[in-house]
C-alpha cells in the first residue's frame, strides 16, 4: 500500500514538473502582458496579433521556414530510414550489429559536434550555407531515429509473408509495397513524427548550417530575440498552438493504432 502511494505520488510530481511550464505558457497566452507572469486580464489579442503579418512578418517567416524544413526533412529521412532499416534487417547478424552500432553514433553524439562537423563539411565542399544546407543537416540527424523506429516493426513481422508473396508471383517491388510497407507503417509514422519534432526543436545544428543570408527558423529567432533582452509576447500563443497541434496529432495516431490492433 505504501509503495503504491509512493509510486503514484512520484508519477504525479514527475508529470507536474514536465507539464507545468507548458500550462503556464498556455494560460499567459490569454493576456496582453508583455512580461510572462504579469496577468493583466483575459484577452485574445496576442492570438490576433500573431497572425498580423505586418506586425510580426519576421516571426511568421521563421515559423514557415521551420515547418517547411521540418516537413521536408521528416519526409526524406522517413524514406531513407525505412529503406535503410529494411537493408539492415536483412544483413547477417554480425553485420547487422556493426551497422546498428554505426547508426547509434549520431544519436549519442552531441548536437554541437554534429553541427560543427556538418559546418566544416559544407565549407570544405564549397557549398553556400542556407536553406538547402539546413534541410540536408536535419535529414542527416533525423534518419538514424527513423531507422530505430522501423527496425522493431521488422523484427515483429512474420518473415514468411514476404516469401509467400514472392512464391505467389509478386515481384520484389510489389512485395515491398503490399507486404512489408503495411507491416512497418506504424514504425514509419512514429519515425516521421519523431523526425518532425526533432527538426522543429533543433537549434545547435541549425545555427551552424544556416549561413548569413538572412534565413531564420523559430529556434534561431527565439535565440536572437532573447539576446535583445526579452521574448516577443506573441511567442506564447504560438507555443500554445504548436503544443495543441502536436497533441492532437498524437491522439489521432494513437486512436488509429488502437483501432488497428482491435481489428487484428
Count of CB atoms situated within 10 Å of the CB of 191? 28
SS3 31: strand
Structure confidence at residue 4 (pLDDT): 81
Within 109-180, where are the H helices? 111-124, 131-156, 159-167, 172-175
The domain spans of the chain are: 53-230
Please give the C-alpha separations between residue 145 and each of 32, 66, 139, 163, 183, in angstroms, as whole numbers. Answer: 40, 19, 10, 28, 18
Name the CA dihedral angle for 130, 132, 135, 140, rounded to a multiple of 10 degrees.
-110
Structure confidence at residue 53 (pLDDT): 57
Whole-angstrom distance, CA of residue 146 vs CA of residue 107:
11
Q: What is the pLDDT along the chain (264 residues), one digit of tens a residue?
A: 778 888 888 989 998 888 888 888 888 888 887 777 777 778 888 888 877 755 567 888 888 899 999 999 999 999 999 999 988 888 888 888 888 888 888 888 888 898 999 999 999 988 888 889 999 999 999 999 999 999 988 888 877 787 787 777 778 788 878 888 888 888 898 899 889 989 998 898 999 999 888 888 888 888 888 887 777 788 888 888 888 888 888 788 777 766 666 665
Q: How much is the pTM?
A: 0.83
Whole-angstrom distance, CA of residue 229 vs CA of residue 224:
9
Structure confidence at residue 162 (pLDDT): 76
Structure confidence at residue 261 (pLDDT): 62
CATH 3.50.50.60 fits 53-230, yes or no: no
Amino acid at each position: 500500500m505504501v509503495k503504491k502511494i509512493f509510486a503514484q505520488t512520484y508519477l504525479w510530481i514527475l508529470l507536474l514538473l514536465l507539464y507545468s511550464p507548458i500550462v503556464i505558457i498556455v494560460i499567459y497566452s490569454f493576456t496582453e502582458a508583455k512580461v510572462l507572469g504579469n496577468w493583466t486580464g483575459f484577452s485574445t489579442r496576442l492570438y490576433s496579433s500573431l497572425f498580423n503579418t505586418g506586425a510580426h512578418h519576421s516571426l511568421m517567416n521563421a515559423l514557415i521556414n521551420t515547418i517547411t524544413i521540418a516537413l521536408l526533412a521528416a519526409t526524406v529521412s522517413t524514406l531513407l530510414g525505412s529503406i535503410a532499416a529494411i537493408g539492415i534487417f536483412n544483413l547477417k547478424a554480425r553485420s547487422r550489429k556493426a551497422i546498428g552500432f554505426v547508426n547509434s553514433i549520431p544519436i549519442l553524439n552531441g548536437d554541437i559536434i554534429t553541427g560543427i562537423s556538418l559546418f566544416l563539411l559544407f565549407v570544405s565542399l564549397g557549398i553556400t550555407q542556407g536553406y538547402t544546407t539546413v534541410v540536408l543537416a536535419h535529414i542527416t540527424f533525423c534518419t538514424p531515429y527513423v531507422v530505430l523506429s522501423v527496425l522493431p516493426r521488422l523484427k515483429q513481422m512474420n518473415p514468411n509473408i514476404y516469401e509467400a508473396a514472392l512464391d505467389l508471383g509478386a515481384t520484389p517491388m510489389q512485395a515491398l509495397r503490399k507486404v512489408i510497407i503495411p507491416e512497418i507503417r506504424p514504425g514509419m509514422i512514429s519515425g516521421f513524427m519523431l523526425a518532425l519534432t526533432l527538426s522543429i526543436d533543433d537549434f545547435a545544428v541549425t545555427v551552424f548550417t544556416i549561413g548569413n543570408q538572412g534565413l531564420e527558423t523559430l529556434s534561431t529567432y527565439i535565440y536572437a530575440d532573447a539576446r535583445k533582452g526579452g521574448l516577443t509576447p506573441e511567442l506564447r500563443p504560438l507555443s500554445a498552438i504548436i503544443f495543441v497541434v502536436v497533441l492532437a496529432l498524437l491522439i489521432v495516431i494513437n486512436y488509429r493504432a488502437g483501432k488497428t490492433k482491435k481489428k487484428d
